[in-house]
Structure 1
Amino acid sequence: MATFTNESFSKFASVSTQNLSGLSSFWSYYLLPAIVAYPFLCSALRFRKLKSLQAKYKYGTPERPSYEGMTVKEAHDIIQVVSDTEFPALFEKGLQFALFRTYGIPTISELLVKTTQLSTEKNVPKRYADTGVLLGDMYGAEPNSDRCIEAYARLNYLHGHYIKQGKISNDDMLYTLSLFLNQPVEWINKYEWRQLTELEICAMGVFHKAMGDGMDISFEKLPSYSTGWKDGVQFYHELDTWAKDYEKRCMVPNKKNYDTAVQTRQLLISQSPAFMRGVLTKVVSAPLDDRLREAIMFERAPASYSTFFDGFMKLRRLYLRYLALPRPKFTAKKMLTKEPDAKGKRYYLVWDTAPVYVKPTLWNRWGPGALLGLMLGISRPGDPDTYPEGFEVKNVGPSVFVGKGQKEMDLVKEKLLKERTGGCPFALHRQHQG
């Protein structure tokens, strides 16, 4: 019996030793090299999209050193890569905080308080969603497409009502445009795994110059207005410089600023569990610079919150740079449905605030995530005041404008169809000036 036991033990030990030896060999020859090589693979693949853009458009290369002549179509295509697959999260956050930053200007927040569109709890979710609809089509659709032009026409109609009454100034329009231009860039350059190149900066300048033209915004306050801009890079820096000077003069504390900003802050954290909202209220203040924070009268985030936020963003940057494979094109986030359904309605496909204009499908309303949200007190698609029937661009905006403005929109669309050629907006400007 003892002999049998010893023999069995010896065989077991021998097999175990062989298994350990095999595992050690696998670790040494395959697993360890793969772990070591993985960060280098991620790092190498991370720049493929950028190199592809540079090879395709060739601006800023020895072959074509100037950025002059970039078209709106080219700029749109470059921005699509930046916003959809390279930096989707922070490009979107940049646009969200662009809206948030406008609340620091009393002349802007005063109108928002008067109209109650972004200063009253009941109105904020829909008005925020309406803004997202228009921007989604202006950024996401092809520059000369019907979707894009209709979004411009609707936005111009809504703004035009207040411009005629003298309640919206050109300076406030120009400043708001400047934030859509520079906030995504600043968020990406500060927190992402790489900074934007001049090619991408030029694309932002070209695209937003065309956006300003489409909204009839005057650029006469900029230094090169009379002579014209060489390229999108020059335009970007001139508008960015003007905007920062405008903030120094006009971004000042005001109770109306607070009334507007606090409602949007509540919306931004509304999809979080109730027990987390106190903490998240302080987190929202962490990335705010002192001028904006003081203008909207928010308390400074505790030092520990700012330290945590900065540390988290640094870890995220390292993770994306060395440990995350680049996002494939087919995974690009689609915010809105492109085509209307049988009832002529379109919907949001993703949302991070209240689920306004989201179709209450079985999964959206009763899936695991939705049921967890129900238990945590988070609103679901189909809840009251979420407009689950969807939207039509011609009717987005405050309720007083629903069903109105079609004649005015048709005139704008006719004008834009003639003017928006998809070419270089600076060449067109120089022709007009000449």
Structure 2
Amino acid sequence: MEKALEFALFRTFAVPSVSRLLVATGEFVSRTRKRYDDTELILYEILENGMESVRGRTAIARMNAMHGRFKISNDDYLYVLSTFIFEPIRWMEQWGWRSFTAIEKEAILINYQQLAKRMGIQAVPQSLESFEAFNRAYEREHFSFDPANKIIGDKTLELLLGFYLPGRFVGLGKPFAYCLMDTPLRRAMGYPDPPGMLQLLVRIVMKAKAWVMAWIPEPGKPVLGTKRNRPSYPSGYSIENLGTFSPRK
């Protein structure tokens, strides 16, 4: 599911209005790892503690303060939210050891509908079907190549591959990552189509991994994202200091 959310990021980068804003702020380009950690930590604080907890409310306030500095359209907000709903669902259907149940899908929808309320997002679709229809229509209309897409995408891809590969081998991992992207996404990001045999190999490996995962017992206690060691915050972090802030005058 975490991998699905990472690839959901790339879908947002395929929208020029989003990627241009990210390039303009400079954060994703100059401090990619910190920006990635900040995004994960804010979302994990909300997910793990609940939206009505003190930490959850603080994380939402920090997120709203960051977004409030910029002119972001309601549809852009809605689309980013939709990727957090549907990319995990689609990823599990394609690569997971089992798909989400109908109740789990509904729970994901309700979770993000509630988050949308707290973010001030308007006209939120009320069903999975209508929200997915919005998601598909938005991509058909807004996916297009822009140099900013590739700038942000390359930085993020290098970061994600760096979790598994030494720096000198990161380039070798890129074609494998392209195999996990659909054609419209690759086109909008300016990425090439990987060879057919490589795509087949990746499908076989991912399906084999799913088969193995089905037989591995689930961990006895949750692995919390907020407790993970992060190079951006070797001594810990406070929610109030996560993310970006207005430049000091």
- Asked if the contact 2:51–2:115 (Cα under 8 Å) also holds between the matched residues in 1, the reply is no
- Aligned partner of residue 107 in structure 1, secondary structure: helix
CA distance in 1, matches of 2:219, 2:35: 32
C-alpha deviations, 1:347-399, integer Å up to 9, x for none?
xx246xxx322xxxxxxxxxxxxxxxxxxxxxxxxxxxxxx233211111125
Aligned residue among 234, 238, 249 for 1:392: 238
* Root mean square deviation of aligned Cα: 1.7
Question: Any gaps of 5 or more consecutive residues in structure 1?
Answer: 1-90, 223-228, 230-234, 338-348, 358-387, 403-434
- Asked if the contact 2:58–2:240 (Cα under 8 Å) also holds between the matched residues in 1, the reply is yes
Residue 259 of structure 1 and its aligned partner are, at CA, apart by: 1.1
Q: Which residue of 2 aligns with 1:62?
A: none
CA distance in 2, matches of 1:274, 1:328: 31
Q: Does 1:263 align with 2:155?
A: yes
CA distance in 2, matches of 1:139, 1:401: 29
5 Å-filtered alignment, 1:275-286, equals 275-286=168-179
Residue 186 of structure 1 and its aligned partner are, at CA, apart by: 0.8
Aligned residue among 169, 180, 194 for 2:73: 169
5 Å-filtered alignment, 1:295-306, equals 295-306=188-199
- Aligned partner of residue 236 in structure 2, secondary structure: coil
Q: Which residue of 2 aligns with 1:369?
A: none
Q: Which residue of 2 aligns with 1:328?
A: 219
- Asked if the contact 1:94–1:187 (Cα under 8 Å) also holds between the matched residues in 2, the reply is yes
The change in CA–CA distance for 1:144 and 1:106 in structure 2 (over 3 A counts) is: same
Q: Which residue of 2 aligns with 1:319?
A: 212
Q: Which residue of 2 aligns with 1:179?
A: 83
The change in CA–CA distance for 1:197 and 1:401 in structure 2 (over 3 A counts) is: farther
- Asked if the contact 2:48–2:224 (Cα under 8 Å) also holds between the matched residues in 1, the reply is no
Q: Which residue of 1 aligns with 2:45?
A: 137
The change in CA–CA distance for 1:401 and 1:204 in structure 2 (over 3 A counts) is: farther
CA distance in 2, matches of 1:150, 1:132: 15
Q: Which residue of 2 aligns with 1:342?
A: none
Q: Does 1:198 align with 2:121?
A: no
Most deviating of 298-307 and 103-112 = 298-307
CA distance in 1, matches of 2:200, 2:15: 28
CA distance in 1, matches of 2:81, 2:22: 17
Residue 275 of structure 1 and its aligned partner are, at CA, apart by: 4.2
TM-score between the two structures when normalised by the length of structure 2 = 0.93
Runs of 4+ in 1 over 3 A off after TM superposition: 399-402
5 Å-filtered alignment, 1:80-119, equals 91-118=1-28
- Asked if the contact 1:136–1:336 (Cα under 8 Å) also holds between the matched residues in 2, the reply is yes
CA distance in 1, matches of 2:113, 2:245: 30
Residue 256 of structure 1 and its aligned partner are, at CA, apart by: 1.2
The change in CA–CA distance for 1:309 and 1:217 in structure 2 (over 3 A counts) is: same
5 Å-filtered alignment, 1:412-427, equals none
- Asked if the contact 2:66–2:245 (Cα under 8 Å) also holds between the matched residues in 1, the reply is no
Aligned residue among 220, 229, 232 for 1:356: 232
CA distance in 2, matches of 1:204, 1:326: 23
Q: Which residue of 2 aligns with 1:146?
A: 54
Larger Rg: 1
The change in CA–CA distance for 1:401 and 1:151 in structure 2 (over 3 A counts) is: farther
Residue 336 of structure 1 and its aligned partner are, at CA, apart by: 1.4
The change in CA–CA distance for 1:180 and 1:102 in structure 2 (over 3 A counts) is: same
**Identity across the alignment (%):** 29
C-alpha deviations, 1:392-434, integer Å up to 9, x for none?
11111125469xxxxxxxxxxxxxxxxxxxxxxxxxxxxxxxx
CA distance in 2, matches of 1:356, 1:113: 20
CA distance in 1, matches of 2:176, 2:235: 34
Q: Which residue of 2 aligns with 1:294?
A: 187
Structure 2 residue identity aligned to 1:113: V
Instruction: Give the paired residue count.
Output: 247
- Asked if the contact 2:178–2:186 (Cα under 8 Å) also holds between the matched residues in 1, the reply is yes
Q: Higher relative contact order at CA 8 Å, sep ≥6: structure 1 or structure 2?
A: 2
C-alpha deviations, 1:111-160, integer Å up to 9, x for none?
11111122x2x311111111011011111112311111111000001101
Structure 2 residue identity aligned to 1:389: S
CA distance in 1, matches of 2:229, 2:109: 28
CA distance in 2, matches of 1:169, 1:292: 21
Question: Any gaps of 5 or more consecutive residues in structure 2?
Answer: none
CA distance in 1, matches of 2:130, 2:247: 35
CA distance in 2, matches of 1:278, 1:113: 22
Q: Which residue of 2 aligns with 1:251?
A: 143
Q: Which residue of 2 aligns with 1:237?
A: 129
CA distance in 1, matches of 2:22, 2:168: 30
